[in-house]
Amino acid sequence: MKKTKIIATIGPATNNKQSIIDLYTAGVNVIRFNFSHANYNDVEKTVHVIKDLNKKGITNLSLLLDTKGPEIRTGDLDKKIEYIEGDIFNMYTDPNIELGNNGLFCDYQFLLEGVNIGSQIVIDSGLFLVEVIEKQKKHVVVKALNSATIGSRRHVNLPGVSLNFPGITEKDISDIQFAIKHDFAFIAASFIRSASNVQEIKDLFKRADCNTLKIISKIENQEGVENLDEIIDISDGVMVARGDLGIEVPIQKLAIYQKEIVEKCNKKGKFVITATHLLETMIDNPVPTRAESSDVFNSVLQKADCLMLSGETAIGKFPIKCVEMMTSIIEEAESIVDYRFEDFSNDNLSLRDIEKKLLIRSALFIGKELGAQSLIILTKTGLLARLTGAFRPSIPVHSFTPFETSVRNTNLLFGINTSKLEKWDREDFSHTLDEAIDELKEKGIIKNGDKVVAINDIQKKGTEIPIMEIINIK
C-alpha cells in the first residue's frame, strides 16, 4: 500500500459514478474541484455521488475545492490579434480608452505603478512575452519578444511585481461558503502571497462557525516564495503550484523552489503537495515520458505528502491509466526511500501537542524495533494522525476516529489510513481498541501472532494525556 497520497481533478473525463470508483481503486485519495471552471449545480451533483459512495463503503474520498483566486486578464476582442516578434504596441488599464492599432486592455488597474522599464509581462500562460519599453500617463508601451496570436480574456502574469490584490475575491468567498455547506475537507487557496491572505480565509471560517476545513496555501509567485515561512506557519498545508510558479519565477529556479518548499514544510510538520504537469502528456498518450516518470519518482524522494493530477484526470484520454501509472511509480520510489524518523519543529505546537508528538515518536521507534505490523491510532480530532504523518512513518499506520470530518481531513496525510469506527467507547480505551483490532483482522491487514503498537487521545478521567500500548494479536 502506497504512503504518498494522490489528488485527482474531476472533469468531463471522469465526472461519472463509475469513473470515480475507478479513480479510487487506482489509488486516488482526494477529489479536486477546480472552481476556475466549475459551477455549483454540477459540483453539487458530483459531491452527492461521492458522499453516497463513501457512505456505502465503496470509496473513502475527501473533497478539495481549489479557488480561482485573484487574476489578471486581457480584455474582450472582436477578433484575434496576430503579433510578430518585435511589434511595439500599447497596453491600457482604462476600459473606456480606444485601443488603437493592436493595443491590449489589461484589467489590473495598478499595472502602470507595478511595472518598470525592462519588466516582462507574460500573456496567455507563457505563450506570449512582452517587455515594457516605455511608461506613459495612461498606458505602457511594450515590445513583443516572440510571435503569437492572442484572443479574448487571456491570462496575464507580472513576474516580480508585488500585486495589490485582496487575499480572497468575492467569488472565492462565495465558493468557500459552498465548500462549508457541502462538507469539503480542504480549501486550496490560489495565489497566496502572505500570512495575511491566509488570515482572511481563517476569519471567513470563523464567521461561518467552521473549524473543520483545512487551508492549503498555493505558492504561485515570487512574493509567496519570499514569505514562505510565515505562510507555512499559519496554513494547514502548502501546495507547490508549479504551473503559475513556473511562469512567475525564472524557470531554472523552479526545481530549487520546489525542493525548498517541500523541505520547509517537512521541517515544520505541515503537509505538502506537489502539483502540475506531473504526467501531462498522458492527457493524450497512454504512457508518460521518461522525464515525467522521473519527476513523479523524485517528488516521492523529496517526501511530499501528496501528488496532484490536473488535466490528466479532468480532460485526459486515459485518466484511470494515468492514476495507475502514478501509483506504480510511487510504490517503486517508496521501496528505496529510507523513512527514518524525520523530526520536525515544535514552533507551531502547544505544550500538550508536544507531549503527544513525543509519544508518537516513541511509538514509531518501538514499532520499528519490534517489527510491528501496524501502528494503530485512536483519535477524535485527527491531531495524532497529522503528527504521525509528519514523522514519515516507515510502518503501516491505521487511524480510527468516531467523526467523519476527521476521516476526511486526514486523507491526504503521508502514510495515514483513516477509518470511521462506529463502536467508539468514549471512556474505555481498551474496548475501543479491541473494536479497531477486530476491524483490521476482518480486513486481513493484521492476523494472530502479529505485533501492533497503539496510541490514543481519548479523554479519560478529565485528562487528555495519550496512552501507548504494545499488543500481541491473539
Pairing of strands 416-420, 306-309: unpaired
Can 32 be counted among the known catalytic residues? yes
Active-site annotation holds for 276: yes
Q: Which one from 2, 5, 214, 218 is the annotated catalytic residue?
A: 218
Q: Which of 73, 202, 267, 368 is catalytic?
A: 73
Q: Helix 170-181 to helix 195-207 angle, to the nearest 10 degrees?
A: 50
User: One of 67, 276, 418, 432 is an active-site residue; which one?
Assistant: 276
**Which residue among the candidates 3, 32, 268, 321 is catalytic per the annotation?**
32
207 is catalytic: no
> Is 73 among the catalytic positions?
yes
Question: Where in the sequence numbering do the catalytic residues fall?
Answer: 32, 73, 218, 276
